[in-house]
Amino acid sequence: MSNISRDDVANLAKLARIDMSADELDHLSNELSVILDAVARVQEVAAADVPPTSHPLPLKNVFREDEVRPSLTPEESLSGAPASEEQRFKVPQILGEEQ
């Protein structure tokens, strides 16, 4: 079992320039011990013959293939727009951009 002392946590807090109360130091020393124990358990089962992976299951693409389909014409697309210009939606100028 890993045991991180309160002084170890206080030293880490000082190095990280984090102001911690006495209660926080006590609580965090227990929490960090639990975390280190969990990491140690994982390291016990990780064998050299098991390659590292980013996902436990193989990834596969679930998207369909792109297909060219009929679409709206520019005129149809812009038919409901309040304003258009050169087959594009026209919107009010923002941030003082020059045209």
Q: Where are the domains of the chain?
A: 6-45
Q: Residue 56 in contact with residue 50, Cβ under 8 Å?
A: no
Alpha-carbon distances, residue 45 vs 34, 41, 48, 49, 50 (angstroms) = 17, 7, 10, 11, 10
**Predicted confidence band at 89 (pLDDT cuts at 50, 70, 90)?**
very high
Over the stretch 61-76, which tens digit does the pLDDT of each residue have?
Answer: 888 888 999 999 999 9
- Reduce the DSSP state of residue 46 to 3 states and report it: coil
Q: What mean pLDDT is predicted for residues 64-91?
A: 92
- Asked whether the whole model's pTM tops 0.85, one would answer no
pLDDT for position 35: 92
Amino acid at 40: A
Task: State the average pLDDT for the chain.
Answer: 87
Query: CA-CA distance, 82 to 18, in Å (whole number)?
Result: 55
